[in-house]
Amino acid sequence: MTLDKLINYLKLDKQEFIFQFNSHPNYPSALAFSDTLNFLGVKNDAYELDKEYWDELPEEFIAIVDNSFSLVKKTGTQYSVYSDKSKTLNKDELHKNATNFVLLFEKTENAEQKISNYRPFIYAILAVILLYSILNFSWFEILFNFLSLVGVYISLEIFNQKFGNTSAVIGSICGDTSANQIKNSCNKIINEDKTSILGLKFSDFSLIYFVGITVLGLFLPATSYVIKGFTIVSLIAIGYSLYVQAFVEKTFCRVCLLIISVLVAQLILTLFFFENSYFNANIAILSILLWGITFFAVSYFNTLLTDKESLQKSNAKNLRFKRNYDLFKRELLDKEKITFSDNETFSLGNKDAKIHISVVSNPYCGFCKGAHEILESLLKKYPNEISAQIRFNYFAEKSNEKATGLLSDFMSIYKNKHESEFLKIVETWFENKDEKQIRDLAGTNGQLEDLNSLNEMSKENLNAGLSFTPILIINGFQFPDKYDREDIHYFIDELIEDDEI
């Protein structure tokens, strides 16, 4: 399932969503879908709700319609359903085609991700080429270059679609091209193309051709002889494409016919309007060089993206195993439980929460910044579900004046300001490592706090063998070495719900 409409509506990064969803140990279950949305910042709650109660649902919710997770928007008596494509159903049709699964969601700021997109850059280049043509060429040369740009754009969309990025343009021409739909003519021709030259398909050569012809078009009329030759040679490609569609696949691809129309139109322009010019060996050699460079560039990116896609699929399968909660829990509980007598110093969050996370850290440890960022993000996302403690390693007899002053300032801020401000100042410290800035924020003017509790807490850390920092401890169990600290985000929901932990 591609879920394009749903992903676009929630403004999620499609590549990230698919990767996280596919790598979930319970993929493709409703739990995996819900967890993926939570991880990407879309808070949600899932229910099994009988249809008789659906009238009480909000105007927007997620349901499983026609075996696909879908966004459902209620408008009067009609329901707009968005998944791989859009459709409108009445109440009876929706109830008939949907399961009882309902997911209520709330978009947060984290979900408003910036989706990296090459299209504005491509549009800018195409616009500059078209403007240059308008200012410098005659009408038929402008038309020729415009058709080349159309060919480049369509070929790029086809190239992009090979790697899972559904194209709205191709979709509007061919209809729904999503992988889980009945294969239409475009899918059959483009995706099942058996042509392979250095790993490139027939559609890839369309991109190479139009890029080359676009560059040559900028040097008209000097390149008209070469351009005319290539447009005549394109008859071979036109004939091959029509043969495959008519006699091999026995179906016609609309986007292929559009490209053929562009090629035919360019051929007519060159035959009837381009002036006859003499063969120029230098231009011919440069043209061959240009197409050679374009060929290897497209081949390089095709190999690069193919390898990337293969690695992502392999990594997703491996992560399903790694992110299995039962395996994580077994590793977590495998070590001896650590008990601290001091759980109050630098204590944060809901003190009555079932999950308590301790971070053993050192303010002068370069690697500790990431651990504190993890703790801060968890406290922000689960303010009522977890408690936390920052356990700085500090020994008065071994610490210099700067370290003592810094931890004294931390203690003053912790005692006199809200915990969110304390966390922000700790973040500021790890960002800048400026003792004077922290002293100014604390407003202590060099006055030292009583650090006996911190000193005793550090001794507890040492006695428990927690001298290397940073270390995460969950309810007394040290975070497993086999996992990255960031992996806690994948397990935190199940940890909260696990009464045994």
Strands (DSSP E) found in 3-140: 42-48, 60-65, 68-75, 78-82, 86-90, 98-107
Query: What phi and psi, each to the nearest 5 degrees, are found at residue 195?
Result: -65, 135
Question: Is the bond into 480 cis (omega within 30 degrees of 0)?
Answer: no
Q: Fill in the DSSP letter of residue 274.
A: S
Side chain identity, residue 89 = L
| Residue whose C-alpha is closest to residue 391's, from 433, 362, 428 | 362
CA 361/CA 474 separation, integer angstroms:
15
List of E strands, 76-139: 78-82, 86-90, 98-107
Tens digits of per-residue pLDDT, 406-451? 889 999 999 988 888 999 999 999 988 898 898 888 887 767 888 8
Predicted pLDDT at 111 = 41
Q: For the segment 456-468, what is each residue's pLDDT rounded down to a tens digit?
A: 888 888 888 888 8
Q: Which residue has the tokens 């997911």?
A: 103
Q: CA–CA separation, 396 vs 414, rounded Å? A: 19
Q: Which three-class secondary structure state does DSSP give residue 177?
A: coil
Average pLDDT for 341-356: 90
The verdict on whether omega for the bond into residue 470 sits within 30 degrees of 0, i.e. cis, is yes
Average pLDDT of the residues of the chain: 81
Q: Is 97 helix (H, G, I), strand (E, B) or coil?
A: helix
Domains of the chain from N-terminus onward: 4-111 (3.90.70.10), 119-310 (1.20.1440.130), 326-497 (3.40.30.10)
**What's the pLDDT band for 183 if we cut at 50, 70, 90?**
very low
- How is residue 307 written in tokens? 């390898």
- pTM, whole model, 2 decimals? 0.52
pLDDT higher than threshold 80 for residue 78: yes
- Span 116-137, pLDDT tens digits: 456 678 788 889 999 999 999 9
Distance CA 111, CA 131 (A): 38
Tens-place pLDDT, residues 12-56:
777 777 777 877 777 777 778 887 887 777 777 777 888 887 887
Contact 354, 496 (CB under 8 A): yes
Do the beta carbons of residue 3 and residue 83 sit within 8 Å? yes
In DSSP terms, 142 is beta-bridged to none
